[in-house]
Structure 1
Amino acid sequence: MRNRAPGVALVHEPSSVVDTLHGRPVPDPYRWLESADSPETLRWLEERAHDHAREAATWPLRDRLAERIRGYVATDLWSTPVHRPGLIMATVRPAGAEHPRLVAFDSPSADGVRADRARVVHDPVAADPSGRTTLDAWEPDPDGRLVAVQSSTGGVERGVLRVLRVVDGRPVGPEVRGVRYSHVAWAPQGPPAFYYVRRDDGDGSRGVWLRRVADGTETFVRACSGPGTVPGVRVLGGRLLLFTESHGTGHRTDLWLADLGEGPLERPVFRPVQVDVEAETEAALGPDGLLYLRTTVDAPWRRICAVDPADPGPAGWREVVPQEAGATLDAFTPCGTADAPELLVVCTRLGIDTATVHDARTGAPLRDLDLPGEGMVSGPVAAPDGTVHLGYADVTAQQRVLCLAPGAARPLPWPPGDAAPPEAPEVERTVLWCRSADGTRVPVTVLTAHGTASDTPVPTLLHAYGGFGRPRRFGFSATVLAWLASGGRYAVAHVRGGGDAGREWHLAGAGRRKPRAVEDLIAAADALVATDLCVRSGLCLSGGSAGGLLVLAAAVARPDLCEAVIASAPLADMARFERLGLGRMWTREFGTVADPDDFAALMSYSPYHRVLESAVRTPGPRFPSVLLTGFDGDTRTDAAHPRKMCAALLAAARAEEGRPPALLRYERDVGHGPRSVGRAVGLAADAHAFAAHRTGLAPRRPARGRSWS
């Protein structure tokens, strides 16, 4: 290996593995790192841990950032509640706790709910004091006597589904193992039973199953249409069984509906709602008995249609709420009454949500919600009495649950209480527009804490995701707030591939067009420098998962673009992404190596291979400093990606650097998703202390601000 950086001793030389794909040799010298537990990999990881510990000890803001982040999250965090007869259930993570717990209120209405009256049904920490187990999902039965609870250990997101008695949390019947984020749909009548889905079994059993609670007997109800689909199942209105299949996240959804009153539970008769249409569609049942559909059919910004569930095919769809160009219709819920049905509709404009109540019959807007600020609305859920609960958060406010009474325009806090949230700085938001390589205008949102110079360069984090049609919405991030309070600037590039400008914006940066997303991010970074908001040496790119792929691709394509990069649980090896983690499910988003044109596009930006190519050049480029994070339990992107990327960067390092050009922060017993608060704080503080050190963000006293209200 050439040009090894001083102090960096690799325990394993590159291998000579070379694949030939579509007539092109594709070297893969670090394939041995795909074996997570081999002696060679374990020794290599020990060296990376030593590198990280040595470097992290020099980051002056590490402890202060951790303290600020802990302070910002030291509030009770509630989920939106679910109503059952005489019962309300929700999760809460009390201030100072490591994980949320499932609780119940024995109350006929929200008026009688008080936080101190919550009865604990399930606490994952009580079940596993190590903190390695997370509560992944839960669903109460129609009577509120039983609740299905899914949990997993070590971050693998493939765990156990148990049925518990709500009254005392005791288990009922045998458990189900190997379940990955299954929807649970309770049968409306008869002895307790529920439908659930198996997503990734390799024995042909993927699809919908009906399970009897008492003895655990199961019946296979419906198979998936193909290996690349993600199944889902829900019961609407206590009688209609909705089966969905997602073909590539954010690309296409097929839906079928069955009336469970028409025959045996084991053999529901499904009617197609939407099949073989390149569109995303989501369904909900209104109080008037109609099926309401949020869809991208003939509406790239999404619209809402209504249809009779007895004949739910597209021929009967009636538009209720039309699309609005410039505003992605992000969420909705039917509410009101059978005589006066309504729809609560949430729209997103460059990350900021608005919520409006519409007449469900005419689509006419009735009233705009008076939200606490400019932020994000999530998970609106209607109660039987017409009350709607929704989550709200913004840049300076931790998520809280709000309760909207029928006919009201201003939602109130739920559950009622007077706990004072932590003080946070005021934040100013502006939008900068830049032009990408093909001339497309790309928006960049810029956040600055009040008291930080808004017209002079300051250390800046530039974030991007750009995948799966997901818009970047400005909810709460304690990490971002801590960075802003420390005097830094935070920017978000709304690149193609995301959903910030509708479905067409997504597709313009997906598949063979994914390089456009990389070009958009490069243009955003150049614009921040050109407008004197930052300098190259004060700029750090930041992204996770698909966003980690994006920031790595931009940095290796333009090594002079920035000073540093944070890539959390990224994709990196795009020649083998289909063989790692859930990559086989993402070919609609990235393409497939099996197709020669897709393969050419993948290799044009694959960060791992771009770095390998640079290693044979003399002199090689000086890449930015990179902090990669990897999680041993990650079953989505697979930690082989950051391991291999780190090895490639170390091998390509110029000898005169004098410090590791890439660091790997590697964790065990956690995965891609939720983790304990303590581990989340440690990860966030390390990543942003690294960025502060590389960009020159100096310690400063926090700006005085307002209290959250």
Structure 2
Amino acid sequence: MAVKVARDRAPFFPPMSSAAAAPPPYPHAPRINHVDDYFGTHVVDPYRWLEEIDAAPAQRWIAEQNALTERVLAAVPQRAAICSRLTTLWNYERRSVPEKAGNLYAYFRNTGLQNQAVLYVTRDLAEPGRVLLDPNTFSTDGTVALSGASFSDDGTRLAYSISASGSDWQEWHVRDVAAGADLPDLVRWAKFSSASWRRDGSGFYYSRYDEPPQDARQFKDTTYFHKLYFHRLGTPQSADVLVYERPDHKDWSLGATTTEDGRFLIIDATRGSDRNNRVFLKDIASDGPVTALIGDGEASYEYLANDATTFYFRTTRDAPRGRIIAVEPGAAAVREIVPQSDDSLDAASFFGDAIVAQYLRDARAFVRVYGIDGRLLRDVVLPGLGSVGGFGGKRSERETFYTYTSYTEPASIYRYDLAGGLSSRVFAPQLAYDADAFVSEQMFYASKDGTRIPMIVTSKRGVARDGTAPAILYGYGGFDISVTPAFSSAVIVWLEMGGIYAVANLRGGGEYGEAWHEAGMKTQRQNVFDDFIAGAEYLIAEGWTSPAKLAIHGGSNGGLLVGACMTQRPELFGAALPSVGVLDMLRFERFTIGWAWTSEYGSADDPDDFRTMLAYSPYHNLRDGVCYPSTLITTGDHDDRVFPAHSFKFAAALQHAQGCDNPVLLRVEMKAGHGAGKPTSKLIDEVADRYAFLVLALGFEPTVDRR
């Protein structure tokens, strides 16, 4: 129930003890007497009004917060040099893994500082080729981005989707590849969808929701009843054919893949973010009905390939670390092709009679090639201990491509010859920095319950282990997502500044398979926070850093991680950087796609889940007068994945509760969403602000390369 409004005075910001000047008082945030009743427990929500993000009071407060943050960070003397160095190191050519489009290769290329990568096609990868699609022409500021792309089987058509201001809403268009011009086709109100072409090129399958209200509610309201449609080229969207829907399961998300032989449509149905799924089959050739193929939601099944009516899947059925099986419609049992190993099977693809399987071993990649009978043929020799991506393509192809990267090496592109088993590098980035000056070390530490947690620490060679270095500890820990080594210009600049960069592979992720994931879900969520806290304690005990010099960073589910850990152990960290975080665990399912995360977190509508989530919800566990770390909260005004009110409410509550001089700032990126498609210019500015804040909060004098 809600009761009358009570107004507080604007909080007073006392002078900071550091050398930095104190910001002025925080923008006034009225506290209202709003109380919700959860199973007899009364929970206050004094900043509920900030959920009305487009109302005048919220807009005024956001503008004042941004003005304060900009004023404070602009005053940090080193910010300009940091931004300049970031710009220099960001300015290098980057390419994506090529794919075949008919008789052409297609790939994305960013020459350096372009806001969005450009799609090229070429007959010879030694040449750049021609521009097929330049998303930088979609808007002057780079805030309209490409969000999906799919070539027809013969490579003559490209279906591509665009999203504005970081929104998850997609608008699909079709381009003639030879002419480089768009056809009249337009498909709107798709979300979380790819485009899967019929083999004859007559059209494509896609998933969408019903058209939302044409106002701010399209970025706030929950979305249910995902539907699968077929769009025939040359016809209006109103004529699109509804292929499959499940009105009896409003929380199912539907995706479709056409088999390479063009005969079948594989329909994937998941409930929210749960990786366990159901698989349905439609015979396209006979326009047959949709029938159940496999699964009742007890395991995950990822379609890989087919031989007529034999279908191959990567699955966790009876194999939490993953295996590959063959399924026949109506068969009583599945046939195992590649059994579960000691390592986590991260991905797989079929080429002729060979299977390329990507594994994770302690969060580092290795790749094996099997025969279609499951016989091990060879290992793929990789350049080092890092991450790979790619190995895609049609089953008929004799070559495939992959990327290799690590924390200190930018992503190179390799061609892999499937017959000979040899890799050759086809693209190597040219970047002006000294890679040999840095080193990554993997180490293991014990969490609170004794679980062995891997962590990779990257630093300058020979850095003193005397606790004086500033450090960033990054984590995610959720949704079966593995955090593996990847190059970042931003990380290199932080290392050049004298910083330590540590990444902990927490429970809740997918690094060790489904059992590792489940150990961080729902009632086990505290394990994730314990793992992260133990990682911080390990860095301190080993002399890498000290509490006053340690910052924690994470985004989305990682923002929840940071929020929970800084409220549970505020004395352990010098700074906290929660980005686009899930910070109100009792309200997340009320907005946009938040309901889909109940399989991961639980639901506040369930009494047991409610008690679990209330115990760690960052917004609800702030206590007046506690000295919290210096905190920079970041979000986007158009984030329709994690509703930005999470960050708004947490910022207001933290500013009110803060019991010491440590600053609490909110940075709201305008015309931006959850992060996907964010233009380069905005990325550089955001990182420059983050590092300027850490200079302020951790009180160190950075070394900034001014080349």
TM-score, structure 1 normalization: 0.90
Report the CA distance between 1:300 and its aligned residue. Answer: 1.1
Report the CA distance between 1:677 and its aligned residue. Answer: 0.8
> Does 2:167 correspond to 1:156?
yes
Please state whether the residue corresponding to 1:578 is helix, strand or coil. helix
Per the alignment, do residues 648 and 371 of structure 1 end up closer, same or farther by CA in structure 2, a change over 3 Å counting? same
More displaced 10-residue stretch of structure 1: 80-89 or 372-381: 80-89
The C-alpha deviation readout for 1:220-257, integer Å capped at 9, x for no partner, is 11003622222111112141211101223253121123
Please state whether the residue corresponding to 1:381 is helix, strand or coil. coil
Letter in 2 for 1:652: A
Please state whether the residue corresponding to 1:529 is helix, strand or coil. helix
Pick aligned residue for 2:629 from 619, 624, 629:
624
- Using the alignment, how far apart are the partners of 1:531 and 1:703 within structure 2? 31
Correspondence for 1:303 = 323
Report the CA distance between 1:364 and its aligned residue. Answer: 2.6
Pick aligned residue for 1:646 from 625, 648, 651:
651
The C-alpha deviation readout for 1:562-603, integer Å capped at 9, x for no partner, is 110011110111111111232111100110001000000110
- Using the alignment, how far apart are the partners of 1:424 and 1:365 within structure 2? 39
Per the alignment, do residues 541 and 419 of structure 1 end up closer, same or farther by CA in structure 2, a change over 3 Å counting? closer
> Does 2:402 correspond to 1:390?
yes
Correspondence for 1:634 = 639
- Using the alignment, how far apart are the partners of 1:73 and 1:365 within structure 2? 41
Letter in 1 for 2:356: L
> Does 2:544 correspond to 1:533?
yes
Per the alignment, do residues 95 and 507 of structure 1 end up closer, same or farther by CA in structure 2, a change over 3 Å counting? same
Please state whether the residue corresponding to 1:171 is helix, strand or coil. strand
Report the CA distance between 1:609 and its aligned residue. Answer: 0.6
- Using the alignment, how far apart are the partners of 1:24 and 1:204 within structure 2? 29
Report the CA distance between 1:408 and its aligned residue. Answer: 3.4
Correspondence for 1:408 = 420
More displaced 10-residue stretch of structure 1: 91-100 or 341-350: 91-100
- Using the alignment, how far apart are the partners of 2:283 and 2:651 within structure 1? 53
Pick aligned residue for 1:5 from 8, 13, 16:
13
> Does 2:349 correspond to 1:333?
yes
Per the alignment, do residues 534 and 277 of structure 1 end up closer, same or farther by CA in structure 2, a change over 3 Å counting? same
Pick aligned residue for 2:688 from 666, 685, 698:
685
Report the CA distance between 1:692 and its aligned residue. Answer: 3.5
Please state whether the residue corresponding to 1:17 is helix, strand or coil. strand
- Using the alignment, how far apart are the partners of 2:99 and 2:566 within structure 1? 45
Correspondence for 2:446 = 435
> Does 2:371 correspond to 1:359?
yes
Please state whether the residue corresponding to 1:80 is helix, strand or coil. coil
Pick aligned residue for 1:246 from 270, 289, 313:
270
For structure 1, list consecutive stretches of 5 or more residues without a partner in the other structure. 705-709
Correspondence for 1:276 = 296
Report the CA distance between 1:645 and its aligned residue. Answer: 0.5
Correspondence for 2:120 = 103
Correspondence for 1:196 = 206
Letter in 1 for 2:613: L
Per the alignment, do residues 551 and 12 of structure 1 end up closer, same or farther by CA in structure 2, a change over 3 Å counting? closer
More displaced 10-residue stretch of structure 1: 286-295 or 223-232: 286-295
Please state whether the residue corresponding to 1:172 is helix, strand or coil. strand
Report the CA distance between 1:313 and its aligned residue. Answer: 5.8
Q: Could you tell me whether the CA contact under 8 Å between 1:286 and 1:334 is conserved in 2?
A: no
Correspondence for 1:207 = 227
Q: Could you tell me whether the CA contact under 8 Å between 2:453 and 2:504 is conserved in 1?
A: yes
Q: Could you tell me whether the CA contact under 8 Å between 1:194 and 1:212 is conserved in 2?
A: yes
> Does 2:450 correspond to 1:447?
no
Pick aligned residue for 1:516 from 527, 530, 542:
527
- Using the alignment, how far apart are the partners of 1:547 and 1:419 within structure 2? 29
Please state whether the residue corresponding to 1:593 is helix, strand or coil. coil
TM-score, structure 2 normalization: 0.90
Per the alignment, do residues 16 and 395 of structure 1 end up closer, same or farther by CA in structure 2, a change over 3 Å counting? same
Letter in 1 for 2:240: E
Correspondence for 1:485 = 496
Per the alignment, do residues 480 and 290 of structure 1 end up closer, same or farther by CA in structure 2, a change over 3 Å counting? farther
Per the alignment, do residues 455 and 253 of structure 1 end up closer, same or farther by CA in structure 2, a change over 3 Å counting? farther
The C-alpha deviation readout for 1:423-447, integer Å capped at 9, x for no partner, is 3433323334333333333233222
Please state whether the residue corresponding to 2:185 is helix, strand or coil. coil
- Using the alignment, how far apart are the partners of 1:9 and 1:122 within structure 2? 45
% identical aligned pairs:
30
Q: Could you tell me whether the CA contact under 8 Å between 1:244 and 1:256 is conserved in 2?
A: yes
| Equivalent residue runs for 1:557-706 within 5 Å | 557-611=568-622, 614-615=623-624, 620-654=625-659, 657=661, 661-672=663-674, 673-700=676-703
Letter in 2 for 1:663: L
- Using the alignment, how far apart are the partners of 2:143 and 2:447 within structure 1? 43
> Does 2:507 correspond to 1:504?
no
- Using the alignment, how far apart are the partners of 2:702 and 2:242 within structure 1? 60
Correspondence for 2:48 = 31
Pick aligned residue for 2:255 from 218, 232, 253:
232
Report the CA distance between 1:200 and its aligned residue. Answer: 6.6
Pick aligned residue for 1:74 from 82, 85, 91:
91
The alignment covers a number of residue pairs equal to 673
Correspondence for 2:17 = none
Per the alignment, do residues 68 and 333 of structure 1 end up closer, same or farther by CA in structure 2, a change over 3 Å counting? farther
For structure 2, list consecutive stretches of 5 or more residues without a partner in the other structure. 1-7, 15-23, 213-222
Report the CA distance between 1:20 and its aligned residue. Answer: 0.7
- Using the alignment, how far apart are the partners of 1:494 and 1:113 within structure 2? 36
Q: Could you tell me whether the CA contact under 8 Å between 1:142 and 1:238 is conserved in 2?
A: no
Please state whether the residue corresponding to 1:227 is helix, strand or coil. coil
> Does 2:235 correspond to 1:223?
no
Q: Could you tell me whether the CA contact under 8 Å between 1:564 and 1:691 is conserved in 2?
A: yes
Report the CA distance between 1:269 and its aligned residue. Answer: 3.1
Report the CA distance between 1:316 and its aligned residue. Answer: 4.2
Letter in 2 for 1:300: P
Q: Could you tell me whether the CA contact under 8 Å between 1:305 and 1:317 is conserved in 2?
A: yes
- Using the alignment, how far apart are the partners of 2:210 and 2:529 within structure 1? 31
- Using the alignment, how far apart are the partners of 2:476 and 2:429 within structure 1? 34
- Using the alignment, how far apart are the partners of 1:501 and 1:385 within structure 2? 31
> Does 2:360 correspond to 1:348?
yes
- Using the alignment, how far apart are the partners of 1:503 and 1:154 within structure 2? 34
Q: Could you tell me whether the CA contact under 8 Å between 1:274 and 1:314 is conserved in 2?
A: no
Letter in 2 for 1:231: L
Letter in 1 for 2:444: W
Q: Could you tell me whether the CA contact under 8 Å between 1:305 and 1:321 is conserved in 2?
A: yes
Report the CA distance between 1:60 and its aligned residue. Answer: 4.1
Letter in 1 for 2:253: V
Correspondence for 2:21 = none
Letter in 1 for 2:245: A
Q: Could you tell me whether the CA contact under 8 Å between 2:465 and 2:542 is conserved in 1?
A: no
The C-alpha deviation readout for 1:127-182, integer Å capped at 9, x for no partner, is 32231110111111122221111001111121310111111232223301122241
Report the CA distance between 1:559 and its aligned residue. Answer: 1.3
Letter in 2 for 1:62: R
Letter in 1 for 2:339: P
Report the CA distance between 1:9 and its aligned residue. Answer: 4.0
Per the alignment, do residues 315 and 386 of structure 1 end up closer, same or farther by CA in structure 2, a change over 3 Å counting? farther
Report the CA distance between 1:641 and its aligned residue. Answer: 0.7
Q: Could you tell me whether the CA contact under 8 Å between 1:431 and 1:443 is conserved in 2?
A: yes
Q: Could you tell me whether the CA contact under 8 Å between 1:461 and 1:490 is conserved in 2?
A: yes
Q: Could you tell me whether the CA contact under 8 Å between 2:113 and 2:681 is conserved in 1?
A: no
Q: Could you tell me whether the CA contact under 8 Å between 2:116 and 2:677 is conserved in 1?
A: no
- Using the alignment, how far apart are the partners of 1:570 and 1:8 within structure 2? 25
- Using the alignment, how far apart are the partners of 1:48 and 1:317 within structure 2? 58
Correspondence for 1:260 = 284
Q: Could you tell me whether the CA contact under 8 Å between 1:464 and 1:521 is conserved in 2?
A: yes
